């Protein structure tokens, strides 16, 4: 038989083993599950987002502003530019005037033209200051302007063009080919001050001498007199000069740049995102698409 001491050791060993077994068999502490995360309520389209107008409709704030006012304010340059906008028998008419009126009709409001801006860039400034809803004024879509306003999709695409003084150009060319002389143009170019073509000239003809004039008539006068070699603008303005007076082709010639395009768009304030979308949709659904041929034909009417 084992001694008392041996039995005590065995007993202690069993006790320790039983203690381990009891501890192992003890249930794990119950941990309460985390409380469910409440879902954020879905945003409802209510008057906190849209604005209720007099006829009960809920409209985006920029559209409601125009509807509640009852008129669409359109910025347009003060200097006439037929056939886009010009005064005839005391009434403002033209292709872009018709465009503005058609947009206002879709909004079921009247249209008022703000013609306070003497230059194209100043038409953009009117939109920046939020003094007009839209700028429709033969505005070229340029990177410089797009930093301050939004532009609609183009409603007319025009190529760039030169009117050249034949004598001055012949002196500059000196038997070199036309493409060679034009692409590396080192002569003088006349442009309208504060216009898109003033910017285009610097970018596209970096070795030329750029001279700015107050108006297109001043530019044309300068090229006729040989004060500049070339006048630079879109193909409509260039072609319409010789179309109106074919005898000018004796002293002047035109060059159209097929790889340089001027796109015209409607200016919209950067805050008026829904109005911009509306204008783009209007242009997409428009039944009449402007082309250079249609614009030239409108000059005869």
pLDDT in tens, 202-253: 999 999 999 999 999 999 999 999 999 999 999 999 999 988 889 999 999 9
State how far the alpha carbon of 253 is from the alpha carbons of 169, 182, 257, 290, 295, in Å. Answer: 10, 13, 14, 26, 21
Percent of the chain exceeding pLDDT 90 equals 75
* Cβ atoms < 10 Å from Cβ of 273: 14
- Strand locations in 98-152 (E): 110-114, 134-135, 150-151
86, 145 contact by CB (below 8 A): no
Residue 77 sits at φ, ψ, to 5 deg, of -55, 145
Which pLDDT does position 226 carry in this prediction? 96
Strand partners, 262: 158
- Banded model confidence at residue 29, pLDDT cuts 50, 70, 90: low
Lowest mean pLDDT across 9-23, 222-236, 257-271 = 9-23
Mean pLDDT of the chain: 87
d(CA 129, CA 114): 13
Which pLDDT does position 19 carry in this prediction? 40
> Residues 58-73, buried b or exposed e (16+ Cβ, 10 A)?
ebbebbbbbbeeeebb
Which pLDDT does position 109 carry in this prediction? 98
Reported as a single tens digit per residue, the pLDDT across 35-73 is 665 555 554 444 459 999 999 999 999 999 999 999 999
Which pLDDT does position 30 carry in this prediction? 54
Q: What's the mean pLDDT in 20-42?
A: 50
Reported as a single tens digit per residue, the pLDDT across 186-201 is 999 999 999 999 999 9
Percent of the chain exceeding pLDDT 70 equals 84
d(CA 193, CA 213): 5
- Closest by alpha carbon to 64, among 133, 130, 127? 133
Q: What's the mean pLDDT in 151-180?
A: 95
The whole-angstrom distance between residue 86's C-alpha and the CA centroid of its chain comes to 24
Which pLDDT does position 299 carry in this prediction? 85
């Amino acid at each position: 038989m084992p001694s008392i001491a041996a039995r005590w050791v065995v007993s202690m060993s069993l006790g320790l083993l039983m203690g381990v077994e009891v501890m192992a068999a003890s249930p794990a502490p119950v941990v309460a599950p985390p409380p469910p995360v409440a879902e954020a309520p879905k945003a409802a389209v209510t008057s906190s987002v849209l604005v209720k107008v007099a006829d009960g409709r809920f409209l985006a704030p920029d559209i409601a502003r125009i509807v509640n006012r009852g008129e669409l304010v359109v910025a347009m340059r003060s200097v006439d530019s037929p056939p886009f906008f010009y005064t005839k028998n005391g009434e403002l008419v033209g292709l872009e005037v018709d465009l503005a009126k058609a947009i206002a009709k879709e909004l079921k409001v009247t249209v008022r033209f703000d013609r306070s801006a003497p230059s194209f860039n100043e038409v953009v400034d009117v939109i920046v200051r939020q003094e007009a809803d839209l700028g429709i004024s033969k505005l070229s879509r340029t990177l410089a302007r797009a930093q301050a306003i939004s532009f609609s999709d183009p409603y007319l695409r025009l190529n760039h063009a030169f009117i050249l003084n034949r004598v001055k150009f012949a002196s500059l060319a000196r038997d070199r080919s036309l493409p060679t002389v034009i692409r590396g143009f080192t002569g003088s170019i006349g442009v309208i001050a504060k216009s898109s073509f003033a910017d285009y000239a610097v970018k596209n003809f970096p070795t030329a001498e750029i001279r700015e004039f107050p108006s297109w008539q001043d530019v044309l006068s300068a090229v006729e007199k040989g004060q500049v070699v070339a006048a630079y603008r879109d193909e409509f303005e260039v072609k319409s000069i010789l179309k109106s007076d074919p005898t000018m082709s004796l002293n002047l010639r035109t060059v159209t740049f097929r790889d340089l395009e001027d796109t015209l768009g409607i200016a919209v304030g950067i805050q008026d995102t829904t109005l911009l979308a509306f204008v783009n949709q209007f242009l997409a659904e428009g039944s009449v698409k402007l082309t250079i041929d249609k614009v030239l034909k409108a000059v005869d009417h």
